[in-house]
């Protein structure tokens, strides 16, 4: 069997290839060369890029078996995420790889602007010794306003606190209590502008943040303000910033990003009170190595069909730690559901009840679908293509959440309607400190059994001797029973035997049991 092919389209650290390991065929191309890219991407399973390679709809159309696009960095401006999702291709990045590097550069720009490092350096190289002209200011006991208290903003706040600065922040999505724990006072943007001696921007570029810092905001700032933007170009209006710096409405700026990049010709570069760098936030050896290793690990997970925490088009945000233990359980429930149904359901509800509904549980719907389709399609099922497989087969899917769970702290149920109109359901939960997986309901019958690799379910009319018959036939087939549960709706009514066994039950033994107990249904389910 041939190895999956990984295409490296730009120079990455040697540690990236090492992290991929020997399980892949590694190829290279010049991603910025369009013809080379389109020719090289045709038969690869994954592509690793940085910022120069444009993976758009045209490239995706050329990629006949592409499963994952990995961006060794944070930004995704060069990847058409929507087109990738429509094609069933997972997109991953390395969201934490450069946060330390970016935070350190923001602090470096702040210090450089405060002490006029750039013009003083240029003057000295020109043979001029101008100590008095380039008198600067200290950061100590000044107020710094952090715009955006995300991962990088937090790191900047921590570092500037060590300089003896008073830290305030504007971020409408952060709770005041969380900020207070870090020694940061949350304020609105107007207050931040009015109080800040220094200001550092750490926001994503969105329609809401584009032009957030414009002429009106800069006019409300202190004349002594030094503004740093090492986040994304366009958040600070560059024309307004130029006017504010030129006329002395603010004192200085440190810039690493620009509205249009690469940017080599800007009026801002003419000003001595501006220090600028060419988008160097992630340009450290450490950040590049972290990014490469992170996406290599994500590629390994993606190509094995596993959940990728850094996939940007699978789960809408970070998966809460409280939700993660339920992911493998839900995938198993999906496989058990399909084993019980024996066909693809027309309607599937993924019901999540209990405390975990306080968090985003969309990933559990994806895990359920991955399990449902795992044994029914030849292609590998992933968290990206599972919803597409459901849509192709006309299966309607719905995620239902309810904070109330009367019998269990948390309960996950997969319930579906078959073409015949019959319903199938299976429920599971996690118990104890060890979060042990348990199946607690099958088609309305209450049970308590571990979801081992090999399971069997027999539905029959309750009468004496049936359990012994099942055990005898399995014993004759040398299948060892690891666990057994019997449940019934009433004495003499419909009953269910649920079994976990040490090995798969041969088809002949399953048929023999079904005939011996006049089973309404007999299903063997393997989830190994």
Catalytic sites, residue numbers: 232, 261, 279
**Contact assessment for residue 355 and residue 322, using Cβ atoms and an 8 Å cutoff:** yes
Name 8's Cβ contacts closer than 8 Å, sequence gap at least 6.
16, 17, 26, 27, 28, 29, 47, 48
Burial of 297 (0-12, 13-18, 19+ CB in 10 A): buried
Of 495, 408, 418, 427, whose CA–CA distance to 457 is shortest? 495
| Start-end of H helices in 126-172 | 151-161
**What is d(CA 369, CA 396) in angstroms, rounded to the nearest whole number?**
11
Tokens standing for residue 91: 């997109």
Which residue is it, tokens 């975990």? 356
**What is d(CA 417, CA 346) in angstroms, rounded to the nearest whole number?**
6
* Residues 205, 78, 11, 289, CA torsion sign: positive
**What is d(CA 412, CA 333) in angstroms, rounded to the nearest whole number?**
9
At residue 226, the 3 state secondary structure works out as: strand
Sheet holding 226-229, edge to edge: 185-186, 166-170, 143-147, 198-201, 226-229, 252-255, 274-276
Helices (H) and strands (E) counted in the chain, each on its own, are 17, 22
**What is d(CA 106, CA 147) in angstroms, rounded to the nearest whole number?**
12
């Amino acid at each position: 069997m041939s190895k999956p092919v990984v295409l490296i389209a730009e120079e990455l650290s040697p540690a990236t290839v090492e992290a991929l390991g020997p399980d892949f065929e590694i190829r290279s191309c010049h991603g910025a060369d369009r013809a080379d890219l389109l020719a090289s991407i045709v038969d690869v399973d994954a592509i690793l890029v940085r910022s120069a390679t444009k993976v758009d709809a045209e490239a995706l159309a050329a990629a006949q078996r592409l499963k994952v696009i990995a961006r060794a960095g944070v930004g995704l401006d060069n990847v058409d995420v929507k087109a990738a999702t429509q094609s069933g291709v997972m997109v991953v990045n390395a969201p934490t790889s450069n946060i330390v590097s970016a935070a350190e550069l923001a602090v470096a720009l702040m210090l450089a602007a405060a002490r006029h490092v750039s013009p003083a350096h240029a003057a000295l190289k020109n043979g001029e010794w101008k100590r008095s002209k380039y008198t600067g200011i200290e950061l100590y006991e000044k107020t710094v306003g952090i715009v955006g208290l995300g991962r990088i903003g937090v790191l900047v706040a921590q570092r500037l606190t060590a300089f003896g600065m008073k830290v305030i922040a504007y971020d409408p999505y952060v709770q005041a209590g969380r900020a207070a724990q870090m020694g940061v006072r949350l304020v609105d943007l107007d207050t931040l502008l009015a109080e800040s001696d220094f200001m550092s921007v750490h926001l994503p570029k969105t329609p809401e943040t584009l032009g957030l810092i414009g002429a009106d905001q800069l006019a409300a700032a202190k004349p002594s303000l030094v503004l740093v933007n090492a986040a994304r170009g366009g958040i600070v209006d560059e024309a307004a910033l130029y006017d504010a710096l030129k006329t002395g409405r603010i004192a200085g700026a440190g810039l690493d990003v620009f509205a249009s990049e690469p940017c080599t010709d800007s009026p801002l570069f003419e000003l001595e009170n501006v220090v600028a760098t060419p988008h160097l936030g992630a340009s450290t050896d450490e950040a590049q190595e972290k990014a490469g290793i992170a996406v290599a690990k994500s590629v390994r997970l993606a190509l094995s069909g596993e959940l990728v925490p850094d996939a940007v088009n699978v789960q809408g945000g970070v998966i809460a730690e409280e939700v993660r233990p339920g992911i493998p359980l839900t995938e198993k429930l999906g496989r058990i559901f399909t084993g019980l149904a024996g066909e693809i359901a027309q309607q599937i509800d993924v019901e999540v009840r209990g405390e975990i509904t306080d968090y985003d549980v969309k990933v559990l719907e994806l895990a359920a679908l991955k399990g449902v389709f795992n044994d029914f399609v030849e292609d590998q099922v992933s968290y990206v293509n599972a919803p597409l497989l459901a849509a192709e087969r006309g299966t309607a899917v719905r995620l239902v959440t309810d904070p109330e769970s009367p019998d269990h702290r948390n309960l996950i149920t997969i319930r579906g309607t078959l073409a015949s109109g019959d319903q199938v359901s299976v429920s599971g939960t996690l118990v104890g400190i060890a979060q042990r997986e348990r199946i607690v309901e099958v088609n309305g019958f209450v049970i308590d059994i571990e979801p081992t690799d090999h399971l069997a379910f027999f539905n029959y009319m309750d009468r004496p001797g049936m359990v012994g018959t099942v055990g005898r036939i399995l014993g004759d087939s040398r299948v060892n029973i690891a666990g057994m549960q019997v449940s019934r709706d009433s004495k003499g009514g419909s009953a269910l035997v649920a079994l976990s066994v040490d090995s798969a039950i041969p088809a002949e033994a399953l048929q023999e049991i079904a005939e011996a107990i006049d089973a309404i249904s007999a299903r063997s389910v393997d989830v190994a």
